[in-house]
Structure 1
Amino acid sequence: MAPSVESDAVILFATEKDSLIADRNTHATRVAGLGVDPEKKALFASVTKRIDYTLKIGTELHGIRLTQLTEQQAEELAAFVAERGVVFFRDQDDLDGNEHVKLGRRWGPLHIHPLIPHEQENPEVIVLDSRLNPPNRYNTNNSWHSDVSFEPAPSSFSILKFDEIPESGGDTVWANGYQLYDDLSQPIKTLLEGLTATHSSDIFRIIQARTGRKTFGKLNDSSHPVVRTNPVTGWKSIFTNSVFTREIDGVTSLESKWILDYLNDLTSKRLEYQVRFRWEKHSVAIWDNRSTFHTGVPDFRPYNRLGLRVTVSGEVPYYDPSSGTQAKAFESTAKAIIAKQEAAEAEKSKKGLDNLQLA
């Protein structure tokens, strides 16, 4: 049995006293962000600058202090993250371990990871330190995932802050599960909407077998819908990933491989689904695991990076056939963009005509 190791208040390996702490993981009893003001006026009253990285995923907000959110702002932020997939913040130096936990608990119970090292004071805060991982762990084509999707009630939101970053490299990329679903043909959508998939902790079982480490709790396997409804937005999203989804239930192994390979290939290769974030010290990313996938870019060694993450447990995944889609919701946004462009062109033409008449 591996010994307990503590370094700088980080618990690396479980002992008998804490080998069951992750077994207290539970599910959300409410949906954070549900039913808030669609315009999110309380949240955006504090926003000094908004940068949308792409049309459908990824936004950076300035002027927000995550430690100073009101209850209304926190609820509206949860809804905004669900809509945008991932939201970024800079210069959040006061978000220490205690504040990190406090923020996450506003949205639900916090997950305790069964294997990843965590803070001694706050076991809900996992430590993502590149010095604790073998160099060959990273592979951008095989490491796209949704956090702890193997749990019966997987994560709703994750909150990640990096306090040590490499001089270059080390970005994180997210992919849009809403758009992946929207772009599928109707026959494939119909097929997938009737399927479930088993998500497993196999990768952690392999690590455990190689190292002899005791886990902080049970390594779960769970079955979830392949197409999932996000309860905040009401939009459909693909919910499989290359790290934790072991197989499609009720089909042959060949069919399962074909489906998963196809979806994983779309996730990793379709650039229009993706948004990439360049970390700075004290940057924070908050994302919705129900509708996005993410991976770290393995281009920063020999530099190191150190991040702390809080993972909020969500509801048991479900699929509602009457759910809407991001594509449908985006139609009004697209019309507004076109109208704004047309108005600008008309104003430009008018000024040109006025100048011509004056000449």
Structure 2
Amino acid sequence: MVAAPFSALGSLSVYDSYDETPHIGTRFPNKSVQLSQLLAAPNSDELLKDLATLVSHRGVVFFTEQDISIEKQKELGTRLGELAGKPATSTLHVHPISEQTPELTADVSVISSEGGIARTGYSKSARASNGWHTDITFEPVPSDYAILKLHTLPAVGGDTLWASGYEAYDKLSPAYQKFLEGLTAQHDGSGFREFAKAENKIINEPRGSPENTGSHLTAVHPVIRTHPVTGYKSLFVNKGFTKRILELTEDESDDVLDYLFRHVSENHDMQVRFRWNLNDIAIWDNRCTFHTATNDYQGLRTGNRIVSIGEKPFFDPSSLSRRKALGLDEAAGLPTDKKKPM
């Protein structure tokens, strides 16, 4: 007898879906599955709690041709975090350089090829792998879930890639895992400070939590964090915002971070690449993923992103890795520990 593979779908199992890769990404391909309908369903809390759980396990979940309004997108972002157990003080994030307009409030981030948040620090001559990041880790209380809907697309190009922080941890050797556990790193959003200064803008505050204040845009988080929903260990450093591992010398930190950044960007077997269609939605968990846009297109690419604030990152030494918790290596007949040579 072989145990059935683990599924985090719960009440969402009544809808057609499939996993994009073994480690990250689930898609609901049928446009009849509308998030607006899940929000209004009689068992809405059950459906949305299961959706939050699914996103936390699979990293990112995709929905096809959604009719959800920006107000309902904000409601969805709020309820996902609340139903997953985030602190009552955590709300939707207000990006440091977001602008409030008559159409959009400051807790909506406009993701546009024309500039702003999506293009801060972008250089067409730089390596594409430089774009890998996790949203707003420069905040003392960073994000749990993020929801992006693209309403304007180029004719071709502009894909987004996500990578699994769970699998990034699991692909490290046991010795390296043990070395990283308990270390802490400084995260810095200096690019947004510089943008605000150049544009004569004021840094927005507070930003979704009473602790997310000030214009310094720096925070210290564990290098390996425990996910509060799944209980899995995840790598939690990213090239966009992580600047220094505090317990190491500067040279040591640079070497370790360079290795971990390449570990994320060069391991395509823990990544998923999503080709957008108009009004598709991606929902991802910033506690266990990294992502990057593909700047290979011409024309306008624009959408609205909602980022929810979660809890302060923590590391529980007794937590398990995803592979160990799900018995993935045992199921594949792979050794779980390397034996010392005789």
TM-score range, shorter chain: 0.7 to 0.9
Following superposition, the deviation at residue 140 of structure 1 comes to: 2.3
Of 163, 174, 186, the match for 1:186: 174
Could you tell me which residue of structure 2 aligns to residue 3 of structure 1? none
1:286-305 map, 5 Å: 286-301=283-298, 303-305=299-301
Letter in 1 for 2:105: N
Is 1:42 matched with 2:11?
A: yes
Aligned residue pairs, count: 297
RMSD: 2.1
Query: Do the aligned residues in 1 keep the contact of 2:161 with 2:274 (CA within 8 Å)?
Result: yes
State which drifts further: 236-245 or 199-208.
199-208
CA gap of 1:194–1:118, structure 2 versus 1, over 3 A, is: same
SS at match of 1:267: helix
Is 1:268 matched with 2:265?
A: yes
Counterparts of 2:62 and 2:53, CA distance in 1: 14
Taking every aligned residue pair, what percent have the same amino acid on both sides? 40
SS at match of 1:137: coil
Counterparts of 1:292 and 1:60, CA distance in 2: 16
Counterparts of 1:148 and 1:185, CA distance in 2: 28
Query: Do the aligned residues in 1 keep the contact of 2:193 with 2:203 (CA within 8 Å)?
Result: no
Letter in 1 for 2:114: R
CA gap of 1:118–1:286, structure 2 versus 1, over 3 A, is: farther
SS at match of 2:312: coil
Q: Which runs of 5+ in 2 are unaligned?
A: 1-5, 39-43, 82-90, 206-213, 334-342
Is 1:326 matched with 2:322?
A: yes
Of 130, 140, 145, the match for 2:128: 140
Could you tell me which residue of structure 2 aligns to residue 283 of structure 1? 280
Q: Show CA shifts across 1:32-82 (max 9, x none).
A: xxxxx975442222x1x2121100101101342111221100000000000
Query: Do the aligned residues in 1 keep the contact of 2:224 with 2:233 (CA within 8 Å)?
Result: yes
Letter in 1 for 2:18: I
Could you tell me which residue of structure 1 aligns to residue 94 of structure 2? 112
SS at match of 1:153: coil
Of 210, 228, 234, the match for 2:225: 228
TM-score, with length taken from structure 1:
0.78
Letter in 1 for 2:317: P
Counterparts of 2:120 and 2:243, CA distance in 1: 24
SS at match of 1:287: strand
Query: Do the aligned residues in 2 keep the contact of 1:145 with 1:243 (CA within 8 Å)?
Result: yes
- Quick check: which has more Rg, 1 or 2? 1
Counterparts of 1:231 and 1:258, CA distance in 2: 29
Q: Show CA shifts across 1:133-176 (max 9, x none).
A: 56971552212111101111100000000000110000000011
Is 1:150 matched with 2:138?
A: yes
1:4-83 map, 5 Å: 40-45=9-14, 47=15, 49-61=16-28, 62=30, 63-69=32-38, 70-83=44-57
Following superposition, the deviation at residue 207 of structure 1 comes to: 1.6
Counterparts of 1:166 and 1:334, CA distance in 2: 44
Counterparts of 1:97 and 1:250, CA distance in 2: 43
Q: Show CA shifts across 1:170-222 (max 9, x none).
A: 00000111111111112211111020001111111222233332222333211
Counterparts of 1:129 and 1:281, CA distance in 2: 14
SS at match of 1:266: helix
Counterparts of 2:175 and 2:100, CA distance in 1: 44
CA gap of 1:89–1:231, structure 2 versus 1, over 3 A, is: same
Query: Do the aligned residues in 1 keep the contact of 2:137 with 2:241 (CA within 8 Å)?
Result: yes
Counterparts of 1:180 and 1:332, CA distance in 2: 15
SS at match of 2:128: coil
Structure 1 or 2: more helix by fraction: 1
Of 83, 97, 105, the match for 1:122: 105
Could you tell me which residue of structure 2 aligns to residue 103 of structure 1? 76
Query: Do the aligned residues in 2 keep the contact of 1:163 with 1:282 (CA within 8 Å)?
Result: yes
CA gap of 1:42–1:204, structure 2 versus 1, over 3 A, is: same
Counterparts of 2:47 and 2:297, CA distance in 1: 35
SS at match of 1:247: strand
Counterparts of 2:34 and 2:230, CA distance in 1: 24
